[in-house]
Amino acid sequence: MATSRAAKVLGTGFLSYLESKKNLAGSACGVAGLGLAFAGVGGSFWPVVVAGLYGAGALIAPPERVDPPHYPDVAEQLGVVREDFGRLREYLAEVDLPPAAGGKLAELLELYAALLDPGWVADALAAEPEWVHALSRALRLDVPECVDTYNRTRWWTRFAPGGESPERHLERQLVVLYDEAERVTAGLHEVEAGRQQTHTTYLEERGRS
């Protein structure tokens, strides 16, 4: 089995070399060497001449270009984040939360939806990879962890009551996440305000000229 796999690898490598620029350039030089041999150049050493020209051609040929790996751009990443948001909402629809935390979570989800809604806001967000990363982290990790740890901790408090309630912890966590999302929103507003100011300055300078 291993021998068969090794043979396939060698066969693939050989075929790749046959199609490579090095082999094509070497072959062209080798053909030129054969022409010289037929013309009487090299005498009885014509095989050495042909082999030498082949080797020289293979050496001077440019290396094969290997395409760099493709990584999704920020716009593609934002599409993935939207899919994550959809899955998160499906998960949360099955979860029972206390009214206070449920209300805060609803506000947070509304803010996420506004940021991810296709349009100029999402386009502005896509231009800021760090904010896309922060939003993705919140949807994939932070919010599910908040809800999951709340449910598990609430179960244990029936046997070991005392301390700060799981409900209060959940509310505090959601407040932090909401504040983070608001900072992203404020950052986008600053970007647009700066863009507007730049355009105003441009128009004023153009008017003076």
Q: According to the model, what pLDDT value does residue 14 have?
A: 47
% of the chain beyond a pLDDT of 90: 36
What's the rounded Cα separation, in Å, for the pair 118 and 79?
9
Domain co-membership, 48 together with 81: no
Domain co-membership, 169 together with 191: yes
Q: According to the model, what pLDDT value does residue 150 have?
A: 92
How many domains are there within the chain?
2
Domain co-membership, 199 together with 139: yes
Task: Tell me which of 30, 60, 90 is where a domain ends.
Answer: 60
Does residue 48 fall inside a structural domain? yes
Q: According to the model, what pLDDT value does residue 2 have?
A: 46
For the chain, residues with pLDDT lower than 50 are: 2, 6-11, 13-14, 18
Domain co-membership, 9 together with 108: no
Task: Tell me which of 60, 83, 103 is where a domain ends.
Answer: 60
Does residue 69 fall inside a structural domain? no
- Asked if 147 and 95 count as a contact pair (C-beta separation under 8 A), the reply is yes
Does residue 167 fall inside a structural domain? yes
Domain co-membership, 56 together with 96: no
Domain co-membership, 6 together with 33: yes
Full-model pTM: 0.64
Domain co-membership, 38 together with 100: no
Domain co-membership, 95 together with 159: yes
Q: According to the model, what pLDDT value does residue 191 have?
A: 87
Task: Tell me which of 34, 60, 86 is where a domain ends.
Answer: 60
The helix/strand count (H/E) of the chain reads as: 9, 0
Q: According to the model, what pLDDT value does residue 154 have?
A: 85
Does residue 132 fall inside a structural domain? yes
Does residue 65 fall inside a structural domain? no
Domain co-membership, 85 together with 181: yes
Question: What is the span of the domain harbouring residue 166?
Answer: 74-208
- The CB-based long-range contact list for 190-199 (8 Å cut-off, 24+ gap) reads 191/124, 191/127, 191/128, 192/124
Q: According to the model, what pLDDT value does residue 120 have?
A: 85
Domain co-membership, 48 together with 83: no
